[in-house]
Amino acid sequence: MFNKKSIIELKKDLNNECFSRKTCSFYKYIKIENRKALRNILYKHLSELKVFGRIYLAKEGINAQISIPEHNIDEFEKFISNFDFFEDVKFKYAIKDGHSFIKLKILLKDEIVAYKLSDKEFDMNRVGKHLKPIDFHHSIQESNSVVVDIRNYYESEVGKFRNAIVPDAHFSQELLPKVDNMLQKHKDKKIHLYCTGGIRCEKASSYLIKKGYKSVYQLDGGIIQYAHDIKESKIESLFIGKNFVFDDRLGERVTEDIISRCHQCDQSSDNHKNCHNDSCHILFIQCDKCAKKFENCCSYDCKSFKNLEFEKRKILIKDVNKKVTSAKLSTKFRPKLYKLFNYWK
């Protein structure tokens, strides 16, 4: 049921594969009674298909981001669709592929999106109207329309729809109250929501409807499907930059626009990375010049700590006061690096 290989072994196995993979995501809000049994069935069969990735199972449904060998895609889709409650699931494939996952994890969760809402704050029988990407593209250009990013700040930092309302949220739990507050003066307008693949907009739209918003719409298939459809239709994209993704790729380029800046030198860059100091791993944006200067680390301290002998580093990591990590400098989840170190003086 569980992987027993080290990260080094898993990466080596992945690099030695002689076939191509496709990154896929899917979700569905559906009542799941026996999650443990379903987890065991999924894990066994998906492992046999050499599927990697991360799947969340909750009483309210399923949320999956996975990497599938191309030659197993048909069998994978058939396997998932054979479950009565997943038969109408929509599979969304990456805009640009790459090594996204190195192992399979299936986790039991309280929610498939961690909004931490009470049952009184939403009703999944009443959600915003789904608009196909091309319809969404045209609708957000109407004069009485507002477009809202239902993602965290570090996602919209590298890519967003033009003129979108972007909440400064560090994690999902604080996102919806911020969105509601920012939309108060737009309550009589057509509210258009978008996120990566659509899952966050489902409950977000229901939340806003409960709050009294009358005209709420959501991008069907999210940014992923929008990018595919816009390219196929040869229409200029209103989403600019990169689509942030929660896997090892950290982003898919949608347009050549670079709308963000290196967190260390303030120059144009949209390359997200996790600090290469294994005890830190803070997420930040770094240009190629600073990557060389800091050796892919977020600070000189992390660079120095990373270069210590392994045994010495191993001892220090066990001591909270001696372990070097920028993450402990802030109470925020995924803090803004340029503010932590005042890099942008």
Residues 141 and 225 in one domain: yes
Identity of the amino acid at 197: G
Task: Kindly give the pairing relationship between strand 159-161 and strand 190-194.
Answer: unpaired
Quote the CA–CA distance of 269 and 285 in Å, as a whole number: 7
User: 257 lies in a domain?
Assistant: no
Domains held by the chain: number? 3
Q: Based on C-alpha coordinates, what's the Rg of the chain? A: 21
Q: Does residue 113 lie in a domain region? A: no
Residue 217 lies in a domain: yes
Among 46, 78, 108, where does a domain finish?
108
Rounded Cα–Cα distance for residues 235 and 154 (Å): 27
User: Is the separation of the CB atoms in 241 and 271 below 8 Å?
Assistant: no
Total-model pTM: 0.91
The residues carrying an active-site annotation are 195
Residue 216: inside a domain: yes
DSSP codes joined into one string, 187-242? TTSEEEEE-SSSHHHHHHHHHHHHTT-S-EEEETTHHHHHHHHHHHHT---SEEEE
Beta bridge partners of 108: 57
Which of 233, 262, 290 terminates a domain? The answer is 233
Whether 218 is covered by a domain: the verdict is: yes
In a domain, 12, yes or no: yes
Read off the CATH number of the domain in which 193 is found: 3.40.250.10
Q: What is the pLDDT of residue 120?
A: 94
- How does 77-91 read in b/e, with b if 16+ C-beta sit within 10 Å? eebbeebeebeebeb
CA distance 318 to 47: 34
Specify if 308 maps to a domain: yes
* Segment holding 93, helix H or strand E: strand 92-93
Q: How far is CA 176 from CA 152, 182, 193, 204, in A?
A: 10, 10, 12, 7
Domain final position from 233, 257, 288: 233
Judged by DSSP in three states, 7 sits in helix
The reply to whether 138 and 103 lie within a common domain is: no
Query: Are 137 and 80 contained in the same domain?
Result: no
Q: Exposure string (b/e) for 114-124, b if CB count within 10 Å is 16 or more?
A: ebebeeeebee
Same domain, residue pair 124 and 103: no
pLDDT of 225-269, one tens digit each? Answer: 999 999 999 999 999 999 999 999 999 999 999 999 999 999 999
Do residue 97 and residue 124 come from a single domain?
no
Do 86 and 173 reside in the same domain of the chain?
no
Claim to verify: residue 83 and residue 125 sit in the same structural domain:
no
Q: How many helices and strands (H and E) does the chain possess? A: 12, 14
Q: Same domain for 218 and 139?
A: yes
pLDDT in tens, 78-90: 999 999 999 999 9
Cα-to-chain-centroid distance, residue 2: 24
Task: Note down the domain range covering 166.
Answer: 119-233
In this prediction, the residues of the chain whose per-residue pLDDT falls under 70 are: 1-3, 345
- Residue 87 is part of a domain; what is its CATH number? 3.30.70.100
Q: What are phi and psi of 28, to 5 degrees?
A: -160, 135
Assess if residue 239 is contained within a domain.
no
